[in-house]
Every structure is written in C-alpha cells, then in structure tokens.
Amino acid sequence: MQRDLDKADWAVGLMQNRQSVRRFKDDPIPEEILYEVLAAGINSATGGNLQPYSIIVERSRVKSQQLSKLCGDQPFIAQAPVNLIFCLDWHKLAVYSRANDAPFTCNKSFRHYTIAMDDLVCAAQTIETAAWLYGIGSCYVGTIIDNIPAAAQMYNLPKLVAPMLLLSLGYPKSLSTPRKKLDYDMVVFNNSYPNLSEQKICEAYDSKYTGMRMTLPSDPQKRQEILAEFRRALLTTYPEAQCDQIIAKAEKAGYIHEIQRRFGLHYHAADMLTPDVLEGLAEQGIYPCYGLMEQ
C-alpha cells in the first residue's frame, strides 16, 4: 500500500472535524458518488467475512416522509435526498445454508447478533466517513428499531431481515456548532483502565455539558407533565422518597441538569427497559436472547 501523508492528513483532518448534519440542501447526490460511497461501505470488515446485512437506499420524498414519522417525527429524515436503511440480514445466509445442508442458528444467537451489529455499524460508519470526504453530511437515526414491523412492511423485508439503523444523507445547508466531546485522556487509556475518581469523572462531564440544562416550562400543566415523566424514569434507580426530593429540587430550581434530561426524558430510563425492540426482532424471526433466559 502506497503511503501519501498529505492525502492522509487531509482525510484525517476532515474526519476529526466531522459532525452530524440535520439540515440538507435539495441538491441530489450524484448516483456515481453514492455508488462509490456505498462500495466503500460494503468493503468494511465483517466477522468471518459473513456480511450479515443489507442496505436499502431510499430516494423518494414521500417514503422519506413516512420514514421520518416512523422514526419519531424527525424532520431532517424527510428533507434528506437519500436515506439509507441498514438491515441486519440473516435471510440470504439462511437460504444459502439450507441449500447446502449447512446448519444455521445465527438468528437465535446473542453472539451472532452482536457480531452482526458490529458488522453493520462498521459498514455504516465507513459510509458516513466516505460521504463526509465527498462533502456530504449525514445523521444517524437509531429510533427505527422502535418500529421494526412497520419498516419491515414498508420495504417488503423477508423474515430474518430487520432494520436496525438509518443514515440520512445530503449536502449540508448549514453546519451546527460542533458538539463537545470528552477530552482525549478521558476516553483513551494507555495499557490499563485508570483509577478515575468521582471528581475527575464529574469534572470531565461538567466540561462537556457546560451551559446545558433544561429550563422547565412556566406553564404549570406542561411543567407537571415533564416532572411526572422525569419521576417515572427516576423510579427505575432511586427509592420513592429520594425521587420526590429530586423532583422537589428541580421544581424549586426551575431546571433539570443535562444528564437528568438525557436519562430522564430523552433516553428515558424506564422506556429503555421495555422489550419492544426484542418483540420487533421476534416478528422478523430474530431472537438474540434465545436460550439465554433459562441459563
């Protein structure tokens, strides 16, 4: 492989400045560029070179609007000239295995599931990066897994195929202020995991989330609704009396902390414990927890 440090510096510099894009121009993505980007993606590493995924390319405005609704009404999906739906796909391998008298248990295996998800994300991320190098912005959407059956119907997915991740693509209309990340030394550890004090961890996240907090609405009804939702999430982790104290404190302050919003309202702690996603996967014949419960 030839070394070209200038080209590498250029590419890596762009990668270090990537960001999610949620505002797209109407300009279409030229088919030949999209092809190159996708071809880079499907050459990504996969466990055992099994390639257990498929990618649906959605260019229709009307269907992208439907996708947007399916994914929790996120408007940028409807505006994106291209949406890619990354599907975990055991269908092709199951057919081929049976045609050749090979055993097949991938759809009932936690290990195969996690490897397949790794594979799918490796491909998605290669595509995200390749697109960015061509000046195309994108944003991942994870909420498609909340509606696996509807998306499966929309795309005529056979059993053993399930949509797991979406990537909206388009030329950026505007870029946002880059999201702050944890400092390098809070993520990359040399040789072994360090003894991180609570203080160091809190300082690192305080710096990441500086100035971010959610002001509670002044409208009493809306305020109560939000606090009730927050309390429902808190109950997953703290005894009732403590939840009441936390709520009272928030009410008095008039805001909640960013990490309280993240796990209390956004990645709602109680909703993250429900089996909806597993049920959606089961409808497609995929059982990542098969056999695990009895053990």
Ligand X SMILES: Cc1cc2nc3c(=O)[nH]c(=O)nc-3n(C[C@H](O)[C@H](O)[C@H](O)COP(=O)(O)O)c2cc1C
Of 74, 109, 126, 138, the residue at the interface with ligand X (CB under 6 A) is 74
Count of Cβ atoms closer than 10 Å to residue 101 Cβ: 6
Q: How many residues bind ligand X (CB under 6 A)?
A: 10
Q: Is 19 in the site for ligand X (CB under 6 A)?
A: yes
Dig out the tokens for 181 from the structure.
Answer: 């990340």
Cα separation, 6 vs 202, in Å, equals 39
For the beta carbon of residue 51, count every other beta carbon within 10 angstroms.
18
The reply on whether position 209 binds ligand X by CB under 6 A is: no
| Three-state DSSP class for residue 50 | coil
Q: Considering only CA atoms, which of 109, 60, 57, 55 is closest in space to residue 87?
A: 55
Binder among 44, 66, 97, 143 for ligand X (CB under 6 A): 143
**Given candidates 11, 33, 66, 140, which one binds ligand X under the rule CB under 6 A?**
140
86 or 230: CB nearest ligand X: 86
Q: Which stretch binds ligand X (CB under 6 A): 89-97, 138-146, 187-195, 284-292?
A: 138-146
CB of residue 137 to ligand X, shortest distance in Å: 10
With beta carbons less than 8 A apart as the criterion, state whether 70 and 162 touch.
no
Q: Which residue has the tokens 């059982």?
A: 287
Q: Which of 88, 106, 116, 139 binds ligand X (CB under 6 A)?
A: 139
Calpha distance 116→109 (Å, rounded): 10
Residue 214, classed as helix, strand or coil, is strand
Find all residues with CB under 8 Å of 44, minimum gap 6, and list them.
119, 122, 123, 125, 126
Does 226 interact with ligand X (rule: CB under 6 A)?
no
Options 14-22, 81-89, 249-257, 271-279: segment touching ligand X (CB under 6 A): 14-22
Q: According to the binding rule CB under 6 A, does residue 142 interact with ligand X?
A: yes
- Residue 282 C-beta: closest distance to ligand X, Å: 21
Is position 75 an interface residue for ligand X (rule: CB under 6 A)?
no
Q: Under the criterion CB under 6 A, does residue 20 sit at the interface with ligand X? A: yes
Residue 203 Cα distances to 183, 188, 264, angstroms: 11, 17, 21
Q: Is 171 in the site for ligand X (CB under 6 A)?
A: no
Binding site for ligand X (CB under 6 A): 19-20, 22, 74, 139-143, 179
